[in-house]
């Protein structure tokens, strides 16, 4: 399996016009100071205003009795302190929801809704969970689609490791690095497909990044006949964290 180029992908989700976002975190504000045209004061003020709607929200714990370990938290204001080794990934922590576009060999072109949760429990990794549901031509949900779960880690030399399993029967290992304080690119170094999975899924790369309005955008590209082509992308708002 040939490996895709490490050239940075331009973060342009296949969704329509960007929408205003209602949220941010202190980590986002600090990183936002690096954005051209966005001053440090503007970034802090934007984060403070947006966090009014999300600062009190978090993923709920399971109501099954306490475990002898901390609950996952998707809110940096609650739960254990985030591990120092994860500071380069800190702006990702939260619950994100929005819409995207897909163009796959299995299902063709369609629109979808998505929720992504990046959470932690104080250890040196982020948990990752993605749920997708298909949308009809009017933008109404018509049923569940694929899911993903996994873990993100980053080394002292800023090498990202992303282990991801798909409900469609795929297990992948991605490696990459931060593009800057607000964007992270990873490439699939290993892609295994089960006998019932998408047999023609090629290796590829993903770019996750905070956009100027602090939405989380992501793009997944895959090798098709030796050429990287967009497969899925979305633009998500922070709803918790």
Predicted confidence (pLDDT) per residue in 164-223, tens digit: 999 999 999 999 999 999 999 999 999 999 999 988 888 899 999 999 999 999 999 999
- Compute the radius of gyration of the chain from its Cα atoms: 18
Q: What is the pLDDT of residue 120?
A: 97
- pLDDT higher than threshold 90 for residue 19: no
Which structure tokens are listed for 234? 């979305």
- For 131, counting Cβ atoms within 10 Å of its Cβ (0-12 exposed, 13-18 middle, 19+ buried), the class is middle
Q: Residues with Cβ < 8 Å from 238, sequence gap 6 or more? A: 21, 22, 23, 24, 25, 50, 54, 94, 95, 96, 214, 215, 216
**75, 55 contact by CB (below 8 A):** yes
Q: What is the pLDDT of residue 106?
A: 82
| Highest-scoring range by mean pLDDT, 16-20, 57-61, 105-109, 148-152 | 148-152
| pLDDT tens-place string over residues 20-75 | 333 343 334 434 434 444 555 665 566 677 788 899 899 988 788 888 999 999 99
Query: What is the residue whose two structure tokens read 């992501």?
Result: 218
pTM over 0.85: no
């Amino acid at each position: 399996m040939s490996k895709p180029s490490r050239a940075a992908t331009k973060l342009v989700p296949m969704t329509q016009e960007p929408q205003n976002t209602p949220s941010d975190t202190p980590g986002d504000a600090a990183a936002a100071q690096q954005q051209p045209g966005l001053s440090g004061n503007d970034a802090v003020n934007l984060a403070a205003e947006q966090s009014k709607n999300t600062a009190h929200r978090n993923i709920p714990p399971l109501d099954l009795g306490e475990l002898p370990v901390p609950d996952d938290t998707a809110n940096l204001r609650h739960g254990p302190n985030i591990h120092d080794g994860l500071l380069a990934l800190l702006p990702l922590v939260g619950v994100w929801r929005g819409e995207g576009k897909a163009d796959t060999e299995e299902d063709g072109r369609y629109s979808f809704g998505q929720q992504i949760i990046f959470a932690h429990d104080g250890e040196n990794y982020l948990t990752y969970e993605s749920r997708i549901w298909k949308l009809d031509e009017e933008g109404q949900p018509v049923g569940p689609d694929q899911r993903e779960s996994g873990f993100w880690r980053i080394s002292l030399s800023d090498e990202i490791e992303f282990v991801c399993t798909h409900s469609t029967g795929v297990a992948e290992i991605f490696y990459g690095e931060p593009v800057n304080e607000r964007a992270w690119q990873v490439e699939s170094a290993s892609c295994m497909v089960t006998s019932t999975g998408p047999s023609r899924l090629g290796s590829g790369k993903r770019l996750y990044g905070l956009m100027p309005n602090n939405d989380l955008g992501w793009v997944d590209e895959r090798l098709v006949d030796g050429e990287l082509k967009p497969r899925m992308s979305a633009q998500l708002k922070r709803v918790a964290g």
